[in-house]
A and B are shown apart, each in its own frame.
Chain A
Amino acid sequence: MDMDEKEKFETVLGEAIRLMEAGEERAAILARFSDFQKELSEAFQIVDRFSLLGKGVKPEKALLEKIVREIGAVTPVPEKRFSYVADDSKGRRLFANPLIQIHSFMNMQMKYVLPIVAVFVVAGAVLYMNYGGVSPQVAQNTQVTSKSAGTESAAEAGDTTATKAAAPASTGNPDDVVNDIIASLAEEETILNDANSDADFATYDSAAASEFGQLSYE
C-alpha cells in the first residue's frame, strides 16, 4: 500500500467507524467500501478482539489481597482516604486526593507553565522599555521632580512626563528640529517653577515664633 492508498484508507476507516457507531451493519459498510474490504475486515476483527478482552477482565486474587493488605483498614473518613499506588503499579496514577493533584500539577504542569510565563514577562518588559514607557533615567528624574516640586500644578506635572519621555532619533527635518527645541522648554519650566515653593520657607518659623505669644506667663 503506497502513501496515497494509505491516506485514502485512513479516510475510509474513519468513515467506516463513524457508520459503525451510527449503527450501520458491517456488511453494508464493507459493501460500501469494496476497494478496502480486506483491510476493513481486519480492522473489524481487531475491534472485536478488544471488545471481548474488555469484558470480564478481573485482577488476580493475589493482587487484590496484596492491595488490601497494604492499604490496611479502610477509614470511613473521606479526608483520611488516599489513593493507593503499589510499587509495581503501571499506567496513570489515580488522583483521588486534591493535595496530590495540586502537588502533581506544581511538579508536572509548572514545568511548562513557568517558562511560558517567564517568556511573556521578559517580552513585556522589553516592549515597555522600548515603546510603552520611559527609560530608567527618565523615571528617576521624574521621581526627583515630583519629590521636590511640592506645589507645582498637575498641568506642570503632566508636561514633565510628556517632555521627558525618551526622545526619538533626530530626523533632520526643520519642523521636527524646531518643534523638539520648543517642546523641551516645558521641562525647563517645570524645573524653574519648582522655585516658587521656596517662598514658603520665608515663614517656615511662624508657628514656632507665634508660640511666644501663646505661653502662660504665670
Chain B
Amino acid sequence: MNKTIPAIVGFVLAVGPALPAFAQGTTTQPSVNFCTRISREINQQVGQRILEREAKLKERRGERETKLKERRDDRQERLREYRDRRDLRRDEHYTKLEARATTTVQKAAVATFQQTIESAVSTRKSAVDAAQSAFKSGLDSAIVNRKTAVDAAIVTLKSSLDAAMAKAKTDCSSGVAPATARDTYRTSVENARKKFQDDMKAAEKVRDTVKTLQDTRHAALKKALDDFKMAVEKARTDLKAAFGR
C-alpha cells in the first residue's frame, strides 16, 4: 500500500504531459474514422435515437389524450351537477312565488314568468352546448391536423437522414476522401434539420387556429349570456308589475 500510491503518482506525472498529444491525435483523425463509423456506429446510433424519440412522442400524445378526456369529463360532470342544482332552485323559487300570488292576475304572471325563465334557460343551454361542442370538435381537428403535420415533418427528416447516410456510405466506399464524405454528410444533416425546424414552425401555427376557436366560443357564450339576461330582466319587470311593485 505504501508503495502503490507513489507509483500511481509517478505514473501520472510521467504520462500526464503526453495526454494532450493523445487527445490531439484523436481529433486530427475524425475524417478517417468517419468512414469506419458511418457503416457501424453512426447508422445504429442514429436509428436508436430516433426510435427513442418516437417512443417519447407517442407517450406524450397518449398523456394528452388521457388528460384532455379527464378534463372534459370532469367539466361535463360539474356542468351537469350545476344545472341539476339550479333546476331544483328555480322550482323552489316558482313554488314561493305561487304561494305569494293571491290574485288571478298575479297567478297568471307567475305562470308566465316561469314559462319565460324556463324557455330562456333552455335556449341558453342549447347555445352553450353548441358553443362547447364546436370548440371541442374544432380543437380535436386542430390536434389531429397538427399531429399529421408533425408526423410528416418527422418522416421527411428521417428520409433526409437516410439519404445522407446512404450518400456518405457510397462516398466512403467509392474512394471519396473521408473528410469530404463527412462534410457532405454534415451539410445534408444540417439541411434536413433546418427543414424539420421550418416544418415544426408551420405546425405550431395550430395556436392561431385554436385562438380563433377560443374567440368564436367566447363570442357565442357572451351572446348566450346577454340574451339570457335580457329575457330574465324582461320577465322581472312583468312579474313586478303584476305584483304591484
Contact yes or no, B204 A201, CB < 8 A: no
Q: Interface stretch among A22-30, A106-114, A189-197? A: A189-197
Q: How far is the CB of B68 from chain A (nearest CB, A)?
A: 5
Residues A202 and B78 in contact, CB atoms below 8 Å apart: no
One of A167, A178, A192, A209 near B232 (C-beta < 8 A): A178
B233, closest chain A residue (CB)? A178
Supposing A141-B81, A171-B96, A184-B89 touch, asked if A211 and B46 sit within 8 A by C-beta, the answer is no
> How many residues from A make CB contacts under 8 Å with B?
46
A188: which B residues are within 8 A, CB to CB?
Answer: 79, 82, 128
Q: Are B46 and A202 in contact (CB under 8 A)?
A: no
- Known contacts A191-B79, A199-B210: does B139 contact A205 (CB below 8 Å)? no
Name A144's contact: one of B74, B86, B93, B213 (CB within 8 Å). B74
Q: Flag if A191 contacts B146 (CB, 8 Å).
A: no
Question: Are A205 and B64 in contact, with the CB atoms below 8 A?
Answer: yes
**B161 lies within 8 A of A217 (CB):** yes
| Cβ-closest chain A residue relative to B147 | A205
What's the nearest-Cβ distance from chain A to residue B75, in Å?
5
> Contact between B78 and A144 (Cβ–Cβ < 8 Å)?
yes
Mark out the residues of chain A between 155 and 176 whose CB falls within 8 Å of any chain B CB in the assembled complex.
167, 169-172, 174-175
> CB distance A218 to B74 under 8 Å?
no
Count of A-B contacts with CB under 8 A? Answer: 156
Bound together, the chains give a CA A174 to CA B240 distance in angstroms of: 6
CB under 8 Å from chain A, chain B span 186-218: 186, 189, 193, 196-197, 200, 203-204, 206-207, 209-211, 213-214, 217
**In the complex, which range does the number of interface residues on chain B fall in?**
35 or more
Q: Is the CB of A174 within 8 A of B239?
A: yes
Quote the shortest CB–CB distance from B225 to chain A (angstroms).
Answer: 6
On whether the beta carbons of B89 and A212 are closer than 8 Å, the reply is: no
Residue pairs across A and B with Cβ atoms less than 8 A apart, 27 shown, are A170-B89, A170-B96, A172-B96, A174-B113, A178-B239, A185-B228, A187-B82, A188-B128, A191-B75, A191-B78, A191-B82, A197-B71, A198-B136, A199-B210, A202-B142, A202-B146, A202-B207, A202-B210, A204-B63, A209-B154, A211-B56, A213-B193, A215-B46, A217-B46, A217-B161, A218-B42, A218-B186
Residues of A within 8 A of B (CB): 141, 144-145, 148, 167, 169-172, 174-175, 177-178, 180-182, 184-185, 187-189, 191-192, 194-199, 201-213, 215-218
